[in-house]
Structure 1
Amino acid sequence: MAPSKKKHAARKACVIPGGFTVLSLQFSLDSAARHFLYVKEHRVRAEKSSYRPLDRTLFVLNIPPYCSESVVKDLFSQFGSVVSVELRDHPGSSSESGPKLSKVFRPADKERFKVGYIVFESSSSLAAAKSHPHDDPLVVSTEERPVKTGVQKWIQQYTKSFIHPDKLQLTVDSFMQDYDKRKEEEAERQRQEVEKQQEDEEGWVKVTRGHKGAKARPHSEAANKRTLQREMRKKRRKELMNFYTWQHRNTQKEHIAELRKKFEEDKQRIALMRAQRKFKPY
């Protein structure tokens, strides 16, 4: 007997306003409660990143806290091979541009509903996920891949929090090697900037002509520091000159006062000599 039209229509995908497809999620086979995910193709043309190709990336909303990256990868692997899964607290650009830190060097993630970016190996897998019927739930915990929750999950997280010293030492050594390499590259870049912007004693900067089409370099931290030091030197020189000017002016005033005092003494001496002089012609 052919299936009825009503049953056939129920097997279609449920698309809501905004272009999102609704996927139902069931924690286990014997669970009556269902959770709903909202998925759509990731199309952000402003983000030119190879980590999220436009034709193979699925954007997922409302991912529950008990679904880790490995669980999400297992759930969507039924539609095709999954290359990578990225879970974030909020939608945003890819975080692959900066150095990727180990879990040892970053705080633990908070348990909250998240958004996800799932990259498939083929674009057909993306279409299969978008056309999946909403009445066919995705099962999170099965006998082949059980997912622990509650106290069992806390015990598992507590056990995994202890890291073997040898493994921790390797992680620290690798992190420090990358850190030293970045510091050396930064020091080399600053040295090249200093060589290109050599200043003479009067503060003139030698500007060299770059290649054709090169854009002007923004003010670096080293250039701003040199400018501040130059201003401080000018200020100290000006203060020193003002001090010398005041000292010279004060010396001149003292010298003039001493000359006036000596002139008055000479006048009194001459007047006394004139008074004591007597005219005796014979």
Structure 2
Amino acid sequence: MAPSKKKHASSQPCVIPGGFTVLPLRFNADSVAQHSVYVKEHKVRAEKSSGRPMDRTLFALNIPPYCSEDVVKELFSQFGSVQSVELRDHPGSSQESGPKLSRFFKPAEKQGFKVCYIVFQNSSSVAAAKSHPHDAPLLVCTEQRPVRTGTQKWIQQYTDSIIPPGKLQEKVNSFMEGYDKRKEEEAKRQKEEAEQQQEDEEGWVKVTRGPKGAKGRPHSEVANKKTLEKEMRKKKRKELMNFYTWQHRNTQKEHIAELRKKFEEDKQRISLLRAQRKFKPY
């Protein structure tokens, strides 16, 4: 007897609006509750050169809190060899600013559903995950891959939170060595830029040829800093010059007013002298 159309339809992948494929998920074989994970091929043009290749990266939503990166890697390994797994609280770029911190110095992770970027070795694995039938749920916890929950998980988390002093000191020393190395490289780079952008007494900048194949940069941090300092000095000189100009104009006004006052007094004095020199025979 041929299978019914309803059963045949249920064995096909379930695709929802947005291009996401629904992957059913169960905690173990005895579990009745079923969880849904939504996956689609990751296609972002800005990340062509990053660690998420467009043709081999699967983007997954609604990853349960009890699924770690190792669990997700084992879970999706049935579709093909997994190169890397990245769990995040929110979707975003893979480029992180600053050095990569050890787990000892990272803040506590938020407990909740997460998003995941799964990078496969082959592009065919992405197609296999997207074509997975809807009536075949994936099992998180198996005999070969046990997943701890409840009290066992809390005990494991507490045990992992206790850091041996020797291991912690080793991580701190490694981080400080990397920090000192980055600071030395930054100081060396600034010194080289300062030498290249050094001005002589007349304000000329000596332009030198850089290494072969290096792209020329029209501006550097040192040059921008010097230009800003020069503009500030010019602004201060202008303000000082304007202040003296105002003071000079004010002095001139006072001098002119004084001359006018003296002129009026001299006119009155001359008029008085002329009146006194009049000839009076009688």
- Name the TM-score class by shorter chain: 0.7 to 0.9
Matches within 5 A, 1:13-28: 13-28=13-28
Aligned to 2:217: 216
Change (3 A) 1:190 1:2: same
Aligned to 2:35: 35
Contact 2:25 2:37 in 1 (8 A): yes
Change (3 A) 1:81 1:213: closer
Give the distance between the partners of 2:163 and 2:129, measured in 1 at CA: 37
Contact 2:50 2:95 in 1 (8 A): no
Change (3 A) 1:10 1:200: same
Contact 2:199 2:205 in 1 (8 A): yes
Contact 1:80 1:120 in 2 (8 A): yes
Aligned to 2:99: 99
Aligned to 2:132: 132
Query: Alignment RMSD, CA only?
Result: 3.1
Aligned to 1:79: 79
Give the distance between the partners of 1:117 and 1:74, measured in 2 at CA: 14
Give the distance between the partners of 1:152 and 1:53, measured in 2 at CA: 37
Question: What percentage of residue pairs aligned between the two structures are identical?
Answer: 73
Give the distance between the partners of 1:195 and 1:104, measured in 2 at CA: 41
Output the amino acid matched with 2:112.
R
Q: Which runs of 5+ in 2 are unaligned?
A: 248-282
Contact 2:39 2:61 in 1 (8 A): yes
**What's the offset of the Cα at 1:241?**
10
Contact 1:49 1:94 in 2 (8 A): no
* Greater alpha carbon shift after TM alignment, 9-18 vs 200-209: 200-209
Matched, 1:156 2:169: no
Contact 1:25 1:36 in 2 (8 A): yes
Contact 2:88 2:114 in 1 (8 A): yes
Q: Which runs of 5+ in 1 are unaligned?
A: 247-282
Give the distance between the partners of 2:224 and 2:180, measured in 1 at CA: 24
Matches within 5 A, 1:225-264: 225-227=225-227, 230=230
Output the amino acid matched with 2:102.
S
**What's the offset of the Cα at 1:235?**
7.9
Contact 1:58 1:126 in 2 (8 A): yes
Matched, 1:117 2:125: no
1:14-72 per-position Cα deviation (integer Å, ceiling 9, x unaligned): 01111110011112222222111110111112212241111111010111211111111
3-state SS of the aligned residue for 1:84?
A: strand
Calculate the TM-score normalised by the size of structure 1: 0.75
Give the distance between the partners of 2:108 and 2:218, measured in 1 at CA: 39
Give the distance between the partners of 1:74 and 1:104, measured in 2 at CA: 25
Output the amino acid matched with 2:52.
R
Give the distance between the partners of 1:88 and 1:30, measured in 2 at CA: 29
Output the amino acid matched with 1:83.
Q
Contact 2:11 2:133 in 1 (8 A): yes
1:95-117 per-position Cα deviation (integer Å, ceiling 9, x unaligned): 36753211122212111221111
Output the amino acid matched with 2:191.
R
**What's the offset of the Cα at 1:182?**
1.4
**What's the offset of the Cα at 1:142?**
2.1
Corresponding pairs, count: 246
Output the amino acid matched with 2:157.
Q
Output the amino acid matched with 2:130.
K
Change (3 A) 1:79 1:230: same
Change (3 A) 1:5 1:236: closer
**What's the offset of the Cα at 1:198?**
0.8
